[in-house]
Structure 1
Amino acid sequence: MTSIEIVAPGEDVGRDTVSRFDMQFQAGAFAALQILEGTGIDCVYCDFHDDFVVRRQVDGKTLYHFFQVKTKKKLNHQWSLAEIFALRKRGQQKDGASLKNVRASFGGKLLMHAVVFDEACYEATLLSNVHFDDDVVDAVEALRCQLPSCKASKFLSENFSAIFSLCDDDSGKASAFLSKLSLRPAVHYIGQEREAFANASRTAIYKYSEIDLDFYETERIANGLVDLAYRKSRTSLQGVAPADIAGRVGIELDDLLEILSISRGAYDALQRGVEEKVLKQASVIQRWLKHAGARDDMIEFASQQKVNWDLWLRNARHTYSPMDLSLLLDRIDGLYARWAQSGEGFAFLNTLLTALSAEPEIQAFEGLDRGMLFGAVSAVVVRRYSR
């Protein structure tokens, strides 16, 4: 009897298609990590209007960056003018069918976003795991500089209104529309396997938040990010109100915090504080207390008390002598060390905090109660684990 494994299938395009879609999800998930930086990017739409769209808030305005992801299995492939713009190097025609092909090309579809969204579209990018031919690079660079010098850029500039059927009011914006097109060739963070994505994600997470992941955390989070992009891309929008679309198909901060195992309550509490690197602090406190068996409400309480302690300490530096504060900080460090070495749970920590808060030397500091001292211990944990 013939075994299925020894007979080659008639075609194997399905496996390649799955790999290409996975790379699209990797690219979208990687872009979403920029949300952690907290510099305006607040949402990445998955498979909505394009492969993914990055939303940015700038001076009260909502702007969009559109991405198409085009990949090749053969890594030495270079995308040609014909593949990107449906343009010939020689003998390019200007008839209706030829212009229609340009509009339907990869580059044409991206440029259509610039036309439709106008000022709301700040960039439209073709992203790939391989390189682009020099003719494509030269054309896009010339268009971005609004100085069409090569044959392809001149053709697109001179025929832009006809290609996209612009009205007279928009025809004067052709150069501005064309300048929004960009390329990202041979990006290092997407691949047929997820190893490159995982490594790049670990680096990006550390860059944006200073959270340093171990091997197993990296693998778990990387897979979680790609799977999240997949789920968002597959979500149906039938009957969904426009105001609810971002929550359905967009990756937002809450989604990333869930994958990073950071509670939103702890994050929000720390964000009200006076120190930077909120995500790193939230991660440290979350890991510390989870390991000790704490519930989410204790984690949020610790985060809020850490903020209260930071604010108290900042003001105390203007009120109390450096010697008194130094002795106080030494006592708190000693308390944490004693508790950590004991291996006991929170009951023992509470006993230590209660005893410390009752000491006359501690009561001499105004407002320094047991809860505030718990925040001080949380600050010690953040400092030690952040080295």
Structure 2
Amino acid sequence: MKATRLTIALLVAAMTSACSSVDDLIVPTGEYKAVLDNRDAAIDQLHQAQNCCQNIASFTFTPIPADFEQLLVIDGSTPVFTFDDGKSHFLAFQLPQNSGDLKITLAAQIDQSLFLPKVMMLDSQFRVTRVLGSDVFKYEPAKLLEGNRLEGEFTIDRTYIGNPNNESYLVLYTSESKLNETTTITSDAKLMAKSLAVVDPGIKDPVIPHSPWGLVKMSVEDLSGNSGLENLYKPAYQDTIQATVPKAEVAPNKLVIAPAAATAAVVATAPAANQAAALTAAPVATTTVATGTMLAETEAMYNQLIQKAVSSGDIEKAMALSGEAERAGSGSAKQTLVNAIKNSQK
């Protein structure tokens, strides 16, 4: 037993002495000591800071590509805004639009303090679609080349490119009310003991205070290039989601923006010979209006999808696409659907 304790003690001592060098290999925390070690100064600076903007729509949004990967620094030079849950420094990004579904990973780095991440997603009209917090971001202990972190992943839907309801902007901030709270992480000694399958030496787990400043690793991945995409289920449409009401699937934290199918159900149940007539006569069962003129290439894409759906016999899907296109500003989608149905009966 004495030999075991001595071994653990030596391992803990070696690990502690090497800790800073290992951390520097994972995240260059040594370069950001002023950010990570000055929580009190950060709180004082936040209280004195003035709002950068009148509203969220007036933020400066930085465009990022679909392969974006960067260590983000939130400090005294980062803009400040008073959100619904208090004042916070923030970073704002404009997401790529012409891409496949996007997987976004955010990992808040834990050192002497922690920036507790919160994410606000906005559509193209700067309306909030959802807010992601403790339901998504979970503590991940240090492992291999990843340090202690609070990490979360979520997916941005790109089923309908050009849809004005698509999530287009991301705002990263923290909750002022959480600055008085802490996060308990697993001690290095406990992690080492677990990896060696030896007795836990009983060292207390560190308690990390939350700070207005911090480091967050952000990466974006375009899932259309994923070799395993064929194993991904993606519904073609579902009932309309109001842009002001956050709604996300439990997994994979994905908000699906898609067209309503109320009218489609009516037309799809009619006999084939009467479908075109029913489409022309029946009122569209939706309260959503077109948001503007659609780009020519986007309109052509919708028309092709409508024709393809009709030719495959999926009238319900074709109706959903037509309604979606009309709400996005198409002036030809409905006629394309009528013509496609008529042609399918010849």
Alignment TM class, shorter chain as reference? under 0.3
Which has the higher Rg, Structure 1 or Structure 2? 1
Q: Which has the higher contact order (CA 8 A, sep 6+)?
A: 2
TM-score by structure 1 length?
0.25
Whichever structure has more strand as a proportion of its residues is 2
Whichever structure has more helix as a proportion of its residues is 1
